[in-house]
Amino acid sequence: MDDNNSYYDLAERIEDAFSEIENDITVDFRENNKEYAALYQKISDLKAAHPIISKIMEGEGDISLTAEEHKAVAEYFRLQFKLESMEREQLYFRGHTDCIAYLKKVGAL
What pLDDT is recorded for position 43? 98
* Cα end-to-end span (Å), the chain: 23
Average pLDDT over every residue of 53-77: 94
Average pLDDT over every residue of 33-53: 97
How much is the pTM?
Answer: 0.77
What pLDDT is recorded for position 2? 53
Which band of pLDDT confidence, cut at 50, 70 and 90, is reported for residue 92?
very high
Long-range pairs of 99-104 with CB within 8 A, sequence gap ≥ 24:
102/7, 102/10
